[in-house]
Amino acid sequence: MVKELDEKSEPLPDHVGWRLWQASRAWQTEFAAAMRAAGHAWFSEARAGLLGHIPRNGTRQSALIERAATSKQAVQQLLDGLEAEGVLERLPDPRDGRGKLVRYTSKGLDALRDGDRIKLEIERGYIDRIGERRFAALMEALRALDAGRGDEPEKATHSRDETAESK
């Protein structure tokens, strides 16, 4: 068999960006597989990214667009798909004739519940793998990183209040 030349000599990346990307993809793959296995065949990563910005009590489509870091057209297309799947529904905003309110259907809420459960299972697996201490350090670093983004210092409120759920 071939042997010489480039058999070894392949130092794969080991910087923050790469590690974050790999870890993120691994999580998403695991989560999506579990969601589909739980019967939510409509689930996809892009859709999950959007749903993460929709609180359980719904939101206005325009507010959603502000939070998701994409164009309004991208958001709309994802919403179209989710609405067609029966996960969400759009209602006219009674206070603004132009606006629409987005909210979950019972099917959507079911999916959120399953998602919460799966999320906790994956998290437990992570803790088993690397230990509670490291896991806590990971979360703390990620939160600190996020808190220190664009907007001012805002050193407060990175407390770990009861915001433990949502999805």
Between CA 87 and CA 12 the distance in angstroms is 40
Q: For residues 72 and 78, give the distance between their C-alpha atoms in angstroms, rounded to a whole number.
A: 10
Dist. CA 42–CA 118, nearest whole Å = 16
Which region, judged by CB under 7 A, interacts with DNA, from 10-18, 54-62, 103-111, 118-126? 54-62
Give least dist CB 145 to its own copies, A: 6
* Binding partner selected for residue 154 from DNA, its own copies, none, CB under the kind-specific 5 to 8 Å limit: none
CB of 7 or CB of 73, closer to its own copies = 7
Of 6-14, 35-43, 74-82, 83-91: span binding its own copies (CB under 8 A): 6-14
Torsion of CA 28, 119, 130, 46, to 10 degrees: 20
Cα three-residue angle 55-81-164, rounded to 5 degrees: 25
Among 34, 35, 54, 65, binds DNA (CB under 7 A): 65
Of these, 34, 35, 54, 78, which contacts DNA (CB under 7 A)?
Answer: 78
Q: Which of 21, 84, 113, 132 binds its own copies (CB under 8 A)?
A: 21
How many CB atoms are located within 10 Å of the residue 104 CB? 20
